[in-house]
Amino acid sequence: MRMSEGVEWAVHCCLTLGWLGDDRPVPTSRLAAGYELPPAYLNKQLQALVRAGLLTSTPGVRGGFRLARPLDKITLMEVVAAIEGPDDAFQCTEIRRRGSGAESPERNFRTPCAVSTAMRKAELAWRRALAAQTLAEVAAAAERHAPNLGEGVRRWYGRG
């Protein structure tokens, strides 16, 4: 079970957009250069963030992406869901009904599968932990070890 690499890219790009701060959109090419990522593929990931309502895109010459909301209104859960999709990692295929289960009609399969319930319980804890952290908190944690991080980013993007 490996999470898509796009999640890492998406979180970092959102943080960068937050540090830049102003409302001028940033094109994919610039963000890709800022992390040495393949521009076209990064664009694909940013499109997913737009569809999820986390970013807004503006076409045209001075176009690009900007945050749809401030960082303290975006949770890690939203970014992960935007890239990875809404499905749970564990997907119950109801194998309990097949084979031996099919031959015991006295069992009621209306009640949810106990295995699925247990796995879902754990995933819920994961989702809660993701939803409890906003991107603003992550940005603050990053700046705790590098106080002038935002300034450096603004300088690199030519927005000092």
Contact residues: DNA, CB under 7 A: 1-2, 4-6, 25, 27-30, 38, 40-41, 43-44, 46-47, 50, 57-65
CA 72 – CA 132 distance, rounded (Å): 11
35 binds a second copy (CB under 8 A): yes
Residue 142 binding result from a second copy, DNA, none, given CB thresholds of 5 to 8 Å by partner type: a second copy
Query: Using CB under 8 A, which of 24, 44, 107, 159 touches a second copy?
Result: 107
Q: Which CB sits closer to DNA, 28 or 75? A: 28
- Residues of this chain, 136-155, that bind a second copy according to CB under 8 A: 137-139, 141-142, 145-146, 148-149, 152-153
62 binds a second copy (CB under 8 A): no
- The DSSP line for the chain is ----HHHHHHHHHHHHHHHH-SS--B-HHHHHHHHT--HHHHHHHHHHHHHTTSEEEE-STT-EEEESS-GGG-BHHHHHHHHH-SS-SS----GGGSGGGGG-TTS--SSPPHHHHHHHHHHHHHHHHHHT-BHHHHHHHHHHH-TTHHHHHHHHTT--
Binding site for a second copy (CB under 8 A): 1-5, 7-9, 11-12, 15, 33-37, 76, 84, 87, 89-93, 95-96, 98-101, 103-104, 106-108, 111, 113-115, 117-119, 121-126, 128-130, 133, 137-139, 141-142, 145-146, 148-149, 152-153, 156-157
